[in-house]
Structure 1
Amino acid sequence: MKQPGTIYEAIGGFDTIDTLVTAFYTHVGNHPKLIPIFPDDLTETARKQRLFLTQFFGGPKWYTEDRGQPMMRRRHLPFEITPERRDAWLACMDAALNETKIEEPYHTAIFEKLTMTAHHMMNTPYK
């Protein structure tokens, strides 16, 4: 049996990313700490997240093809990302990972990679 070469392949590819992002933005759209920094219509935000996570976890480089180099910190600088919002974002992602039923060791690997990224995105101290 061939072992998957990437997290993307191991979790089932784009269909799983799509399910994860859909679940995630359902939580984001209802989270009082996150609503102020996200648009009312999350359609385009979710589309970009699908492209990013596909690439981030070893799938096709769709994000770069569509948007250029990720430069995620720079792209997020216009938004106040506090430790509190980082934690809210991670809580929404953890809930989405649970709902998507991504199995171990991939659930933990994904959450750890996204936790490091979320820490990197912080640009505003506690208020």
Structure 2
Amino acid sequence: MILLQNISFGFPGGNLLFNHINITIQSHSRSALVGSNGTGKSTLLKIIAGEIQSSEGTVNIDGDIFYVPQIFGNCNHLTIAECLKIDQKLHALQKITDGEVDEIYFETLNDDWDIEERSHQALEYWGLGNFKL
């Protein structure tokens, strides 16, 4: 679940972009964020993903959030797993399945044993099943 309470944001020295936003998105539901250019859609998504902080309010998230930027040029050198920030979990899972029992791998994986399967399912869903993580 994603819960936004009283979220506001303004760029330093600028006007308020949005003020007192409250949103609840239930787990396993689909939602759309629609608006004109420059209204703060990408900024709100970055706040939800934890990439930037709101001016005020709280964000509560049950689960992992991944933000894929609209302009992807700064990610051209990354793998899909690196861009989605799941590369460390995938690496830890591979090490564990190879028989390595270092505690750091278990901590990194954090009981997310089906991360690779879920990731492949997501790529299939998005029509990107022929791409490797």
Band the TM-score falls in, shorter-chain normalisation: under 0.3
Structure 2-normalised TM-score? Answer: 0.26
Determine which structure has more spread, i.e. the larger CA radius of gyration. Answer: 2
The normalised TM-score by structure 1 is: 0.27
Q: Which structure's residues are more often strand, by fraction?
A: 2
Greater helix content: 1
Higher relative contact order (CA 8 A, sep 6+): 1
